[in-house]
Structure formats: C-alpha cells, structure tokens
Chains A and B, each alone.
Chain A
Amino acid sequence: MKYTEEHEWLRVEDDVVVVGITAHAAEQLGDIVFVELPEVGDTVAKDDEIVVIESVKAASDILAPIDGEIVEVNTALADSPSAVNEDAIGAGWFFKIKPDDTSQMDEYMDEAAYNKLIA
C-alpha cells in the first residue's frame, strides 16, 4: 500500500491500482453523503480532479494520483456513500486505474511515513 499527501491510498492488484481515501481523511471529512466517480474508460492524468466527495459539511475533490485509464469504478458508492466512512480501505474504494507508468508510484509514502504525516 502507498499513500499520497492528499490522503489517498493506492493498492496494486495485478496490473491495476485500486485507489481510495484513508480512514483518517474520511474521519476529517465527516459523514460522506455523495461520491461522484469518473467513467470507466476515461484517460486521466496525474492531479486531474476526477472524484468529488460530498460530506455533510462540504465538497472535496480527489485527484488522480497517477496517469492511466480508469478500468473500474465502485458503483456501490452511489447507494452507500457511507461505506467510505465505515470501511475506507476496503468497501469504500473509488476506482481502479491501469497505470501508464508504475514508477509514478515511487514518490508516494509507505504506511510508516503516512502514519508519521497524520500523527
């Protein structure tokens, strides 16, 4: 698992990367009530705003952490956005991306470094 400073997590599964936000980020955002996801087949560039999360308090943008193609999105979040609060690193995942260049992940933190960031 890798972590960004934007509080996203990235998990490599075969040739795709699963992306979500951390439990810490979900807690900071508060109760999440709506998630707008990209479309399967979208080609995205690192730092594109591709997900909008609405909590009871405000809307936040989630950036694409790497270049690639969106190959799957978590459609279950349409009906149960609260999964992001309840299980941020499991059922609360956002999208799977097929990376153009896996070396883009090298800059991201490991768990120890991320835990230090949020401590």
Chain B
Amino acid sequence: MSDLLHTPLHDLHVELGGKMVPFAGYAMPVQYPLGVMKEHDHTRTRAGLFDVSHMGQVIVRGPDFATAARAFETLVPMDVLGLDTDRQRYGFFTNDAGGIMDDLMFANRGDHLFVVVNAACKGADIEHMQAHLAGVEVTEITDRALLALQGPSAETVLATLDPRAAEMAFMDVATLSLNGAECWVSRSGYTGEDGYEISVPADQAEALARALLDHPEVEAIGLGARDSLRLEGGLCLYGHDIDTGTTPIEGALTWAIQKVRGDGGARAGGFPGATQIFAQMADGAARKRVGLLPTGRAPMREGVPLFAGPEGGEQIGKITSGGFGPTVGGPVAMGYVTRDHASIGTTIYGELRGKRLPLNVTKMPFTPANFKR
C-alpha cells in the first residue's frame, strides 16, 4: 500500500488499530477493533467519528455569490442561486445524456460556494468545473481534513467544543472554533443520523479527532460501518447505485431537482442532459432504483440478478448495493428494476447461488432518518 495516499489522520487510524485498506487511492480504515457491527450500532445509538478526508473539498468563487451560483447552475440541475447563506444542499453533476457524473453537497458561504465531492471522482469533477465554469475560480482545498461526527449524541459532543453547534439546524453551515481550529461545519452527513461534517485545517485535524474521541460517547468508525449505515439510510453510493449510465429519474433522485430548474421553472434547464431529464420527468423512466428487503436471512449483494418470478422469465434488474443491515437486523438491498416491478410491496426474486429467493420492494430509508429538522 506504499503508493496509496494518506489522510492527515493516517497515523491515528493505525494507532487505534484500524484495518487499513485501499479506497479511491487512499489507505483508509475499513474497521477498528470494535468491528463493523458494533461500530454501526454505536453510530446509531451514540456517536461515531469518521475520517472522510479522502473526499474532495472545493471552493467556487466569483466576483460575488450570484455569479458563482449562476455558473454552477450550468453543471447541476439544482437551485443554487436560491440557496440561502450558510445553507447546504444535495446535488449532482449531469452529463449530456442526463446521466450522473457525481453526487455532491454544496453550500452558500456568503461570498463563495463550498462543494464536497466523492473521492473517486474528485479529479474529474475539478477538471469538469475548471473547464466549464466561466468567470469563476475553482480551487481544490488540499490543506484541510474532513471529519464526520454522526449519531444522536453528536450535538451534545460537538457543543462541548463550541456551543454554537447546538444552534445549527439540519443542512445549516457555520464556521466554528473547535479545539482551537477554525472549522467549516455543516449539520449533515451520510449515515441517516443527525450529525456534522467538519472541515478542519490538516495540521489541527488529529488534535481535534483526539478531542472528540476523548468523549466517552464517541468511537472511531470505519468505512465498513459507513457503508451499512448509508445503505440502511437508503443513500446512494456513487459508482454503484448511481453512475454516468443512470439518470436522476432512474435513480429516484428527482426530489433533488428544485422546481425552479425543472421544465417550466423560472431558470429551467441550462444544465447538461436537461432535454433527456425533462422528458423522463414527464414520461417516467423505464427502470427505477428501489429499496429491496430480502424476506429470508441471506444477504444479497451488488450484482445479484433480479427476476419477476421464482423461475424462468427475463431478468428485470439487478442489485446495486446490498448486505446485512445491523439496525434492521437482517439483509437490506437496493437496486434497479423495470418500472412495472417498482411499486412498493411488489415481490420479486434474486438469484443467489443458483436459487431464486424472494425480496419485497420497500420504501427507503430502511431505518428512520433522525435528522434535526
């Protein structure tokens, strides 16, 4: 793993007994001695600290926020201009076919946009922005780590370092002073729990992580539990559940396209693939991402082919993420099925080791979202 990149918390992961694995070019902890199951449960019941420094942090700056927002709207089908100061929103870059190039979070920081993108896509995303955003400056932030503190105790814990943390609502963004470091904090995350994402100067990241871990409510959590948490939360993993070959409509992400950017909206279109996306928004897509709950105990993972009946017939889709959901206490999955099999309550079959096993199309999230609205 010598050619892998290290995050500013690498030495701490190793010290804590993290099992380091390659992920998107970085050495990252997949789990700590606690193990995936207990790490997952700890995050759902108390608070988990995640190192997500491998993700890309980008500042998009124009002469003023409106200029940067209008430019960014040429790449995403989101309402960027209408986003209030110190508020964050989920979004995605689309391509000319209406596919999803990456999903992301963006925030209005008053005079600039702060964007967080996936690790595996960050190089391409930054090139994409630099090539297509006219009149604005796109800067990758490489001197900051990114931590996520997630779980029902996150608020209490973070407020011990800066009481203003408790005043933030879901998707609020603020600059807080945490353990002496100037941090860009959002009240959001990717676990289905309340919590925060914290951008901290790289040279102060380890001290902040240690201060958080000193709190008895907090455990370090690896990528394994991050995956099972986001899966139970019904949240997409880019490159698996959504990619350049899936549109927002197929990916069941139409909710993320605000009316003002939709067909007939005041700032309709003007992003890559708008024609295809509007056509699908009007007519529906041939396939759709759905939640799938296997009725048996066997986990069904990515790649399992799906069928309408217990034998014969054409394949109607496939699982794109699946595994064991520790909070659900059984297997959970998501995947794509043809639209005639996408209704909640439909029973379909996954072919596992030569056997067809039933799954029910189920509403997501699988566990209730505990966001602080």
Binding site for B on A (CB under 8 A): 30-31, 33-34, 36, 52, 54, 56-59, 78
Q: Which of B1-46 contact A (CB under 8 A)?
A: 30-31, 35-38, 40
Q: Which of A33, A36, A52 contacts B324 (CB 8 A)?
A: A33
A59 in contact with B31 given A31-B36, A31-B37, A33-B324 (CB within 8 Å): no
Q: Which of A34, A52, A56 contacts B36 (CB 8 A)?
A: A56
B373 at the interface (CB under 8 A from A): no
Please, what's the 1-or-0 string for B214-230, where 1 marks a CB less than 8 Å from any CB in chain A?
A: 00000000001000100
Q: Which of B36, B298, B299 contacts A30 (CB 8 A)?
A: B36
B224-A56 in contact (CB<8A): yes
Known interface pairs A31-B37, A56-B37, A57-B36; 11 further A-B residue pairs with C-beta atoms within 8 A, sorted by A's residue number: A31-B35, A33-B37, A33-B299, A34-B298, A34-B299, A34-B331, A36-B298, A56-B323, A56-B324, A57-B224, A59-B301
**Docked CA distance A59–B31 (Å):** 17
**Docked CA distance A34–B324 (Å):** 9
**Docked CA distance A45–B68 (Å):** 67
Interface size on B (CB < 8 Å)?
Answer: 18
B326 to chain A: which residues have CB within 8 Å?
A: 56
A-B contact pairs, 19 of them (CB 8 A): A30-B31, A30-B37, A31-B37, A33-B331, A34-B324, A34-B331, A36-B298, A36-B353, A52-B353, A54-B298, A54-B324, A56-B40, A56-B224, A56-B228, A56-B323, A56-B324, A56-B326, A57-B36, A78-B297
Q: Which of B89-116 contact A (CB under 8 A)?
A: none
A54 to chain B: which residues have CB within 8 Å?
A: 298-299, 324
Binding site for A on B (CB under 8 A): 30-31, 35-38, 40, 224, 228, 297-299, 301, 323-324, 326, 331, 353
**Docked CA distance A57–B323 (Å):** 8
Q: How far is the CB of A90 from chain B (nearest CB, A)?
A: 20
**Docked CA distance A31–B299 (Å):** 13
Which 7 pairs from chain A and chain B are nearest by CB? A31-B37, A33-B324, A56-B36, A54-B299, A34-B297, A34-B298, A56-B324
Q: Which residue of B lies closest to A56 (CB)?
A: B36
Q: How far is the CB of A83 from chain B (nearest CB, A)?
A: 14
Q: How far is the CB of B191 from chain A (nearest CB, A)?
A: 15
**Docked CA distance A78–B38 (Å):** 20
**Docked CA distance A33–B327 (Å):** 12
A30-B35 in contact (CB<8A): yes
Which residue of A33, A34, A36, A78 has the most chain B CB atoms within 10 A of its CB atom?
A: A33
Which residue of B228, B297, B326, B331 has the most chain A CB atoms within 10 A of its CB atom?
A: B297
Q: Which residue of A lies closest to B228 (CB)?
A: A56
A58 to chain B: which residues have CB within 8 Å?
A: 301
B35 to chain A: which residues have CB within 8 Å?
A: 30-31
Q: How far is the CB of A97 from chain B (nearest CB, A)?
A: 21
B38 to chain A: which residues have CB within 8 Å?
A: 31
Q: How far is the CB of B176 from chain A (nearest CB, A)?
A: 34
Q: Which residue of A lies closest to B323 (CB)?
A: A56
Q: Which residue of B lies closest to A79 (CB)?
A: B297
Which residue of B30, B38, B40, B298 has the most chain A CB atoms within 10 A of its CB atom?
A: B298
Q: Which residue of A lies closest to B37 (CB)?
A: A31
